[in-house]
Amino acid sequence: MRIAFLTAPEGVEQIELTDPWQAAVDAGHEPVLVSTKPGTIQAFHHLDKAEKFPVQEVVGETTAGSFGALVLPGGVANPDYLRTNRKAVAFVRDFFEQGRPVAAICHAPWTLVEADVVRGRVLTSWPSLRTDIGNAGGTWVDEQVHICDHGPNKLITSRKPSDLEAFCAAFLDVFARQPEEVA
């Protein structure tokens, strides 16, 4: 399955990109780095610059329909930028409208809030997003990983880097059970 990994040009938490990416590769999937601009993205270890990664596809030039699923890595700056980019928000919303699974970790649900897709859903995140999720009509829970079945697609969320092992196992399990026409 082709899996979109959506990030901003700068600010993604590197481990929240690289660990899920490697888990997807190890499971036989094809991860694709999607961003709002061509070139490279700058990852971070908290506030310190880390590695750069090449962008493979650009929002606005690709569609949710060309992927079986979406992974939204966190980092504070990453989803804060994405939620202000009209094309990125539309790209995320399209996954929900098409019933494709979405996985988001840490601060990434900020983009989901902006896409107006958390209403009626139960999810987890970095604790500081609790009020934003509640104000957007979602229910926040403090769990290592949460899988929400509300609506036509599954939403897999997790709180923080120390939850990555559980997050990767959960989204890989959900992605593996996708119907062929979605995968």
Which of 107, 146, 148, 168 is catalytic? The answer is: 107
CA distances (Å), origin 183, targets 65, 99, 117, 150, 152: 10, 11, 21, 19, 15
* Phi and psi torsions of 114, nearest 5°: -65, -35
Q: Which of 29, 45, 46, 106 is catalytic?
A: 106
107 catalytic? Reply is yes
Question: How many Å apart are CA 23 and CA 171, to the nearest integer?
Answer: 10
**Are the C-beta atoms of residues 70 and 105 closer than 8 Å to each other?**
no
Examine the residue annotation and report whether 150 is marked as an active-site residue of this protein.
no
Q: Which residues are catalytic?
A: 106-107
